[in-house]
Structure 1
Amino acid sequence: MTSHDSPVLRVAGRPVGRYVTRPEPPVRLSPRPYLHPVTTLAGTAVTEAAPADHAHHLGVGVAVPDVEGHNFWGGRTFVRGRGPTELDNHGTQRHASFQLRDPDGFVEELRWVAAGKELLRERRTVAATGLTGTAWALDFTFSLTNVSAGPLTLGSPATNGRPGAAYGGFFWRARKEDSVPDVYTADREGEAEVHGSRADWIALAGAGWTLVFAGATEETRRDPWFVRATEYPGVGSSLASAQRLPVEPGATVVRRVVTVVADGRPDRGEAAALVGKAVSR
């Protein structure tokens, strides 16, 4: 094993995801490690990386559009009073090392660097677990520690003046298909109803596949869901929705999202049961 290897996640011996540790996209895409492709147990791809509609969307990972003014999301930066603006402010997430690496997961250390300075140090824990013959779960935890000399704040286009655009944090870019995927929770249906909610779980269902997302800690459950279906299929958990998130020197922000990856279309009861089983492990 070398630090340049790309781990492959397996469930019961089946490959279900590949982790890219050292991507080399253009700087304006904010290079960062990510999972792609991720598949169902039957082999259906449920992620996309660098799609034509948003070249800075990279599979499954962590991305924040505003860390004290530095862009770790990619693409343009939303500037209050100016809108989306091309700025030379892109940061990079650098893979440092694996503390643990097994066929079903890994623990990784990353460094978030911008303008030649390390701002955040991340510990990322990823695990793949089988649930049934047609479903498995991706357990994704990240801890961001402020290693800079002063306080930092994390923001989003929403906190910078763009309503409804509170993206930033865990983000899953799903595969775009000819038909718009269905979005639903235990008691809501449709992108407009689900986006911005704090539902216990939300499902994104395409042609022959379903993803069910759940916050697995109290802090994560307080974060609203960022949901897109019509423009493109993507789901994230918002770190900064109504206001910027402060991180004092030495302080750590921790979030954990568990995603059920299923073949077919589980009904609401089945989706809830799968999420419950995945989160309790």
Structure 2
Amino acid sequence: MTDESLVLRVAGRPVGRYLTRPELPVRLSPRPCLHPVTTLSGTAVTELSPADHLHHLGVGVAVPDVEGHNFWGGRTHVRDQGPTELDNHGSQRHTAFQLRDPDGFVEELRWVASGTELLRERRTVAATELTDTAWALDFTFSLTNITRAPVSIGSPATNGRPGAAYGGFFWRARKEAAAPRVFTADAEGEAEVHGRPADWLALAGGTWTLVFAGATQTTRRDPWFVRADEYPGVGSSLAATDRLPVEPGGTVVRRVVTVVADGTLDRGEAAALVRKAVSP
């Protein structure tokens, strides 16, 4: 699947493989990603190019609209027209690892579309043991506009499709016969948690739970993009209601910490693990 990859380990156990150069068609917006990611017992909690959405690639950063270029994959939502096949796909290109250890890495990437580099990314990923049955994936990305003009980030929502503000960190989870339970500290179900900010959000399958926490040091709190019934996926929304402008030389930074646990957690257990995962 790739000509270069690395394995993340927690307490000596492999919990994730990072693919730097997945061999994918251009229309899927090729990009580095984590797959498979597993619980400590070995249960896979990601999918790569599933049949329902071939452009869903494990865990990574995907944005459907960077100044009109598609870094998400698949069709592009065009205002007053709907999902449309366009020749506008970009790719994220692995440049180098600045740091590479068994429990994490720091990577440099270039976001390129139509032969032009629009953004330069620094990605920092770390895996940490929390308990005998849970670990945390700490994922930070910073996107810097290296062009001489402003660049804006959009989403289908900002292009006329309400409720579809995906774009940013995204985790395509394991699909099972039954839809996963999704909940926050004070809300339950996809309809109640989708499109809203929350300190943390949990997705619980048959034998596993993922708990996502926005941990960026900023006053801005991105709403969560959530799917459970159609497919299991969770991401943060960089452009929920308005386009996000990035001035020349400007940088957008986001950090998401995800608890990966065996078993199905309740609210108290999820909250306790999140506190442990994001504490200094």
Q: What is the rounded CA distance, in whole Å, between the counterparts of 2:3 and 2:42 in structure 1?
A: 25
Instruction: Tell me what 1:80 maps to.
Output: 79
| DSSP 3-state at the match of 1:222 | coil
| DSSP 3-state at the match of 1:278 | helix
Equivalenced residues, count? 279
Instruction: Tell me what 2:167 maps to.
Output: 168
Instruction: Tell me what 1:55 maps to.
Output: 54
Instruction: Tell me what 1:12 maps to.
Output: 11
Q: CA deviation at 1:5?
A: 2.8
Q: Deviations over 1:68-127 (max 9, x none)?
A: 000000000000010000000000100000000000000000000000000000000000
Q: Deviations over 1:31-61 (max 9, x none)?
A: 0000000000000000000000000000000
Q: What is the rounded CA distance, in whole Å, between the counterparts of 1:280 and 1:4 in structure 2?
A: 36
Contact 2:204/2:265, CA 8 A, preserved across alignment? no
Q: Deviations over 1:237-275 (max 9, x none)?
A: 000000000000000000000000000012111110100
Q: CA deviation at 1:221?
A: 5.8
The one-letter code sitting in structure 1 at the alignment partner of 2:60 is G
Q: What is the rounded CA distance, in whole Å, between the counterparts of 1:123 and 1:79 in structure 2?
A: 30
Instruction: Tell me what 2:130 maps to.
Output: 131
| DSSP 3-state at the match of 2:218 | helix
Contact 1:220/1:256, CA 8 A, preserved across alignment? no
Q: CA deviation at 1:220?
A: 7.9
Q: What is the rounded CA distance, in whole Å, between the counterparts of 2:232 and 2:144 in structure 1?
A: 30
The one-letter code sitting in structure 1 at the alignment partner of 2:117 is E
Instruction: Tell me what 1:27 maps to.
Output: 26
Q: What is the rounded CA distance, in whole Å, between the counterparts of 1:145 and 1:256 in structure 2?
A: 15
Q: Spell out the pairing of 1:144-163 with structure 2 (5 A cutoff).
A: 144-163=143-162
The one-letter code sitting in structure 2 at the alignment partner of 1:249 is P
Task: Check if 1:243 corresponds to 2:223.
Answer: no
The one-letter code sitting in structure 1 at the alignment partner of 2:9 is R
Contact 1:200/1:221, CA 8 A, preserved across alignment? no
The one-letter code sitting in structure 2 at the alignment partner of 1:167 is Y
Q: TM-score, normalised by structure 2?
A: 0.98
Q: Spell out the pairing of 1:163-242 with structure 2 (5 A cutoff).
A: 163-219=162-218, 222-242=221-241
Contact 1:176/1:233, CA 8 A, preserved across alignment? yes
Contact 1:198/1:221, CA 8 A, preserved across alignment? no
The one-letter code sitting in structure 2 at the alignment partner of 1:102 is D
Contact 2:64/2:156, CA 8 A, preserved across alignment? yes
Q: Deviations over 1:106-164 (max 9, x none)?
A: 00000000000000000000000000000000000000000112100000000000000
RMSD: 1.1
Distance 1:154 1:49, change over 3 A: same
Q: TM-score, normalised by structure 1?
A: 0.98
The one-letter code sitting in structure 2 at the alignment partner of 1:257 is V
Instruction: Tell me what 1:103 maps to.
Output: 102
Contact 2:216/2:253, CA 8 A, preserved across alignment? no
Contact 1:119/1:146, CA 8 A, preserved across alignment? yes
Contact 1:91/1:115, CA 8 A, preserved across alignment? yes
Contact 1:220/1:257, CA 8 A, preserved across alignment? no
The one-letter code sitting in structure 2 at the alignment partner of 1:211 is L
Contact 1:35/1:61, CA 8 A, preserved across alignment? yes
Q: Deviations over 1:177-207 (max 9, x none)?
A: 0000000011100000010111110000001
| DSSP 3-state at the match of 1:163 | coil
